[in-house]
Structure 1
Amino acid sequence: MAVAALPWRDRKRPLWPLALVVPGLPFAALLFATATSSPWFWWLTPVVILGVIPLVDLLVGDDRANPPDEAVPALQASPYYRWITYLFLPAQYAALAVTCAAWVRGPGVIGGVGLVLTAGLVNGIAINTAHELGHKRETAERWLSKIALAPTGYGHFFVEHNRGHHVRVATPEDPASSRLGESFWRFWPRTVLGSLRSAWRLETSRHRLRGRSPWHPRNDILNAWVMTVAVLGLLIGVFGVRALPFLLLQAVVGFTTLEAVNYLEHYGLLRQRTATGRYEGVDPRHSWNSDRLTTNVFLFQLQRHSDHHANPLRRYQTLRTFDASPQLPAGYATMLLVALIPPLWRRIMDPRLLAHYGGDAGLTNRAPGPPAGDPGRSR
């Protein structure tokens, strides 16, 4: 007698709320710092994100399971997954208020640095939540994306990522695609300034095509920046002008966290030109992926980046892994730290990149100048 196959279940379903641990960490730090009067507990969030999570990533390992095609419509429609992303935002803002209050009380140098890193990392990871929301067609989710971006002042990401990066990804024209031989510290000013300029050009063109000035209330960059001014103004109004340095510093840490992730997502990968002179279409070969389960849970499967670029409207719970995608040796939390040390990054990543292209550096997206040689040397 044949036994009917059991319906597919998302085995990660109970794990997705763990993403909310990130904005919850500052509250744990507050509890310990208050109970012990030790400023070192304000380092709890960076230690967990950049130390504990990479270790757990290593111990837990990979998850390469993909949802079957027939399960995708129900997964996409389920409100459970959406509400997890929605709940990230009030937790993010509450964490910012808590760290801001601790800053103005004067935590000292040790506690102050920990607070800046804490708020910056939470708001930097919130940009990933904004990324998930900003790709959706629903108006409410797109506005929530801008709200998540407001504390870092990176509202132009909403425009540039969707209409710039997704079009030019893995080409020399994309400021958010890093190049072989380009260190993170060279990439940072290029992507920060280049993405801002690109976003403004894109939004200006959109409004001029509609016959109106770009200085319009519907300008997605301007209304996102208005949110930033409102958020910072409210916090300064509540906590005083002493909060301003903290708010500016944590914003820099936040968008630097985003750009470090951008750096590792497409390092050296290049879409080749076709016979017509146009770039080939985006496919799984053009993003560095990682199947590390723990980081994927905390980042809403951002590490399944190839599928995201091929299908940007897919929600995080439906993203798939592909054999054709080049694989990072560790999760994003680990590789972010590696990216900050250029010689180590090149020693690890350049051989992997060249192997992906069969040893032909001419097929890579290279930094200008002489061909990259010694993997241990950074430009």
Structure 2
Amino acid sequence: MALHSDSPEAPAAWRDPKRWLWLFGLLIPAFPFLSWGLVAATGLRVFWWTGVLVLYVIFPVVDHLIGKDSANPPDSAIAHLEQDRYYRWCTYLYLPLQYAGLVLGCWLITRGDLSFVDRIGLTFTLGGVAGIAINTAHELGHKTEALERRLSRIALAQTWYGHFYVEHNHGHHIRVATPEDPASARLGESFWRFLPRTVLGSLTSAWRLEKRRLARRDRSVWSLRNRVLGSWALSFALFTGLALAFGPGVLPYLAVQAVFGFCLLEVINYTEHYGLKRELTAGGRYERCAPRHSWNSDNVASNVFLYHLQRHSDHHAHPTRRYQSLRHFDEAPEMPTGYAGMIVLAYVPPLWRRVMDHRVLAHYDGDVTRANLQPSRRARLLARYGTTS
């Protein structure tokens, strides 16, 4: 239900200034349609690469030009924001557009009048949609309603990344900002070194978590009750159906877009906790996750297109809180720009280190030993930065 100022329970003085901006998030699953339309209208075949152009060129510029918004909803508005179903539909509608675009893309790739370069461009555009769909699945998968959890798994099928549903909720949120977490990047670790570690580590962690869960219920891990196997079955059915509809020649392109999609997720993962570490308590347990353990950004454009993912500290404090209610924390470390710009930097390790390493060091008051260090670079980092102890 939407909020109305004449409701006795609704805060009369506050309205979400980004309320209608959240609809812009639906432009991302429309990328294949946008590509097709722009090529038809202009004859410029570069527009088959719309997803790459928007994600890596246009978004970073727009993020910089629009700037930041650090305003929080008042506490009195949180309950009403959470109950307003308009915001849920902004995420629900991503899925039909996502899969309509995937079908359109398969048809365009296999109908025969696209060059190989055009097909690759369209494939990466589809992969961009699939990668941001993992973020949509992230928003839906944290919720308690069964419908949203099912939609989360459907959104993940395009990338074969359904194990993310298990590992993120039950692994990453427990081990975040610790050396044991495959999804928390370490100071001195490049994205290209992080990528295989997080992909393999997250998959094996998800399998172990499911094996443990099913063992407690006295069930075999080799069944569709295993949510990892269930997710793979869903992806297999999707790819098989598309291959039957458009021919087996579509499968290599589906594989490429899936890999590009989950790599897009992982480069965002790389930025979120880089170098940050929770301290061990006297009892040998890690301290509770706090705002200081996530890199945040209040850049408006990235936050609108990613459902406030950049207010990551509040998400870790309140995983079931809906995106429209997430808050800014002054004590959380701040990235110099939004995710759109940061992922471009992450692809170039020297640039990333130049921008981020000194920020990690400053966050820990110059004591590099408090950071989450890449083991192979530990000696080099200690020699370079020393300690304050």
Same fold (TM over 0.5): yes
TM-score by length of 1: 0.96
Structure 2 residue identity aligned to 1:68? P
Preserved CA contact (<8 Å) 1:76 1:314: yes
Inter-partner Cα distance in structure 1 for 2:128 and 2:152: 17
1:334 lines up with 2:341 in the alignment? yes
Report the equivalent of 1:12: 18
Report the equivalent of 1:27: 33
Identify the match of residue 119 of structure 1 among 113, 126, 134. Answer: 126
Q: Structure 1 residue 225: deviation in Å?
A: 1.1
Inter-partner Cα distance in structure 2 for 1:201 and 1:211: 15
Preserved CA contact (<8 Å) 2:73 2:327: yes
Identify the match of residue 174 of structure 1 among 169, 178, 181. Answer: 181
Structure 1 residue identity aligned to 2:225? R
Preserved CA contact (<8 Å) 2:120 2:253: no
Deviates more, 1:42-51 or 1:267-276: 42-51
Deviations 1:308-339 (A, max 9, x none): 00100100000001011100001001100110
1:356 lines up with 2:368 in the alignment? no
Identical positions, percent: 56
Q: Structure 1 residue 37: deviation in Å?
A: 4.5
1:148 lines up with 2:133 in the alignment? no
- Paired positions, count: 371
1:58 lines up with 2:51 in the alignment? no
Structure 2 residue identity aligned to 1:242? G
| Structure 2 unmatched ranges of 5 or more | 1-10
Report the equivalent of 2:229: 222
Inter-partner Cα distance in structure 1 for 2:371 and 2:246: 49
Q: Structure 1 residue 60: deviation in Å?
A: 0.8
Q: Structure 1 residue 214: deviation in Å?
A: 1.3
Structure 1 residue identity aligned to 2:81? L
Structure 1 residue identity aligned to 2:20? P
Deviations 1:289-319 (A, max 9, x none): 0000111000000000000001001000000
Q: Structure 1 residue 34: deviation in Å?
A: 3.0
1:92 lines up with 2:98 in the alignment? yes
Report the equivalent of 1:302: 309
Inter-partner Cα distance in structure 2 for 1:257 and 1:48: 13
Report the equivalent of 2:266: 259
Inter-partner Cα distance in structure 2 for 1:374 and 1:155: 41
Structure 2 residue identity aligned to 1:264? T
Deviations 1:10-64 (A, max 9, x none): 1110111000011112211101223444431101222112211111111110000
Preserved CA contact (<8 Å) 1:39 1:110: no
Report the equivalent of 1:159: 166
TM-score by length of 2: 0.93
Inter-partner Cα distance in structure 2 for 1:171 and 1:220: 25
Structure 2 residue identity aligned to 1:297? V
Inter-partner Cα distance in structure 2 for 1:28 and 1:10: 29
1:345 lines up with 2:358 in the alignment? no
Deviates more, 1:182-191 or 1:6-15: 6-15
Inter-partner Cα distance in structure 2 for 1:345 and 1:49: 18
Q: Structure 1 residue 374: deviation in Å?
A: 6.2
Report the equivalent of 2:218: 211
Q: Structure 1 residue 366: deviation in Å?
A: 0.3
Deviations 1:105-128 (A, max 9, x none): 342232122112101111000000
Report the equivalent of 1:77: 83
Q: Structure 1 residue 97: deviation in Å?
A: 1.2
Preserved CA contact (<8 Å) 1:40 1:110: no
Structure 2 residue identity aligned to 1:25? F
Preserved CA contact (<8 Å) 2:296 2:333: yes
Report the equivalent of 1:49: 55
Inter-partner Cα distance in structure 2 for 1:32 and 1:270: 46
Deviations 1:276-298 (A, max 9, x none): 11100000000000000111000
Give the alignment's Cα RMSD to 1 decimal: 1.3
Preserved CA contact (<8 Å) 1:152 1:254: yes
1:321 lines up with 2:325 in the alignment? no
Structure 2 residue identity aligned to 1:109? F
Identify the match of residue 183 of structure 1 among 185, 190, 194. Answer: 190
| Structure 1 unmatched ranges of 5 or more | none
Q: Structure 1 residue 102: deviation in Å?
A: 1.7
Preserved CA contact (<8 Å) 1:307 1:321: yes
Structure 2 residue identity aligned to 1:61? G
Report the equivalent of 2:136: 129
Identify the match of residue 67 of structure 1 among 59, 73, 76. Answer: 73
Identify the match of residue 238 of structure 1 among 235, 245, 269. Answer: 245
